[in-house]
Structure 1
């Protein structure tokens, strides 16, 4: 698969902890295009394709808009449709987009040739760039989810902030679509969140599986196995809540994931 396509798929995956097929929306398109701008050498790529940078960005944006509803940026839509929109042959397009293994060789750094100080500086720079990209993606995902909270049929903990909302569900590796899934964060403790759901959903059971609390109508016997299945996403076909705590920017943050049946 071409590097350009891989960049897009990776971007989509980073926005959530499992493989997600995003809905078409302006925020997702903006996020993907911005990631492309940061990752691809636009000047050399545009020169190779024989188009201006402006025209390439416009064509690429149209391609992403068309491909999100077609394959969620997980298939070959980008590399098949982009040449058509750019008005060039596929052979020309393919020749300008390096294969993943070639790109990795070009980007490889010979750490043995660097001093300890240079390696530390490079690592710090890479971490800062990665964090900046993640923060941008998080902001865009949050923007795309605004105004959709009233669609959620299970109780939403308050105070909390919505991070993302897959209102049409997520697609697993078999092409099946899950229930809608929304994610939230709060500064309150996991214990407070669990207490809220215990009171709000008295008929639901609560199970702690390695630090992740599951609030479900019926706890599966193989919960641990199901929770690790990120290919088929079996738990996200069942209405439930997950909550757990992680350190974000050196602060404890409680995450809440709600998988629900639409009204």
Structure 2
């Protein structure tokens, strides 16, 4: 099951919204419609069924509560755990004990709980042994015990890392679902070997400037291959190598274009911006290049 409980979904949507920020060169957040799209996409894919069944409520009721709570936090500018969880259980009309019971069942099923507490316990045992030794050489029995604890600690860290990667993958999937089926509204050519990560169909507002709609894509192809594609497809666009920042195709590019000083032009002018995939940026495995397409409707 992709998302098993309400509060785990709140965690995933917070992560997905964070990814939406890092995947856009505008460095601005998503709009309310994108949040609604994320929630409705997961609802249609059955992502709320397990949580709703356990809580004894309908999936629609869970969807409505998630919408209200998430949009409230988004509008207040507080997309943190405290805001996202505040009053959420009460809005579902279920008891606190029922809510906690379902959370515990899901955590046990997914094996997602106990990583940190297990690591803390193992480190505490190691500390106790070293305190007991007080600088002396360990006995053969103590050496064996230390080796065993260190091996278990490494395994615990590996499992925790794998779980974090799974959660990141889930957030990427959620973000992509919110934009599924919207490619047809993009009026500039799309690179064929790329998958959409996020589509801000209403653009974003930053510093009082309203941007064009923009979509971000991930591709396993090199930047050079993508550049060659757009040189053919956008012969009337100006092209500029931005050094380590990326490569830009832009309609009516200002002279001596600079991303910082010409940010308003960048946000309001159709363009294709190609950059290297950022490590940890939420792109699918194997991604080499990111492509941002900003267009006029």
- The bucket for the TM-score relative to the shorter chain is 0.5 to 0.7
Give the equivalent residue in structure 2 for 1:188: 221
Cα 1:129–1:79 change in 2 (3 A) is: closer
Matches for 1:180-219 after TM superposition, within 5 Å: 180-201=213-234, 202-217=236-251, 218=253
Give the equivalent residue in structure 2 for 1:223: 259
SS at match of 1:20: coil
Looking at structure 2, the residues matched to 28 and 178 of structure 1 have their Cα atoms a distance apart, in angstroms, of: 27
Matches for 1:5-16 after TM superposition, within 5 Å: 7=11, 8-16=13-21
Give the equivalent residue in structure 1 for 2:197: 163
Give the equivalent residue in structure 2 for 1:259: 294
Give the equivalent residue in structure 1 for 2:36: 24
1:200 CA displacement: 2.3
71, 92, 96: which one aligns with 1:86: 92
SS at match of 1:255: strand
Looking at structure 2, the residues matched to 234 and 124 of structure 1 have their Cα atoms a distance apart, in angstroms, of: 46
1:147 paired to 2:181: yes
Give the equivalent residue in structure 2 for 1:129: 163
Cα 1:226–1:135 change in 2 (3 A) is: farther
Give the equivalent residue in structure 1 for 2:64: 62
Is residue 19–residue 172 contact of structure 2 (8 Å, CA) maintained in 1? no
Q: TM-score, normalised on structure 2?
A: 0.58
Q: TM-score, normalised on structure 1?
A: 0.64
Larger Rg, first or second structure (1 or 2):
2
1:259 CA displacement: 2.0
Structure 1 unaligned segments of length 5 or more: list them.
43-51, 97-106, 228-232
SS at match of 1:24: helix
Structure 2 unaligned segments of length 5 or more: list them.
1-6, 101-115, 127-148
Q: Over residues 60-95 of structure 1, what are the superposed CA-to-partner deviations in whole Å (9 max), with x where a residue is unaligned?
A: 432222355666474478567636633589xx9xxx
1:144 CA displacement: 3.1
Give the equivalent residue in structure 2 for 1:100: none
Of 248-257 and 114-123, deviating more is 248-257
Cα 1:67–1:250 change in 2 (3 A) is: closer
Aligned residues: 227
Looking at structure 2, the residues matched to 189 and 163 of structure 1 have their Cα atoms a distance apart, in angstroms, of: 17
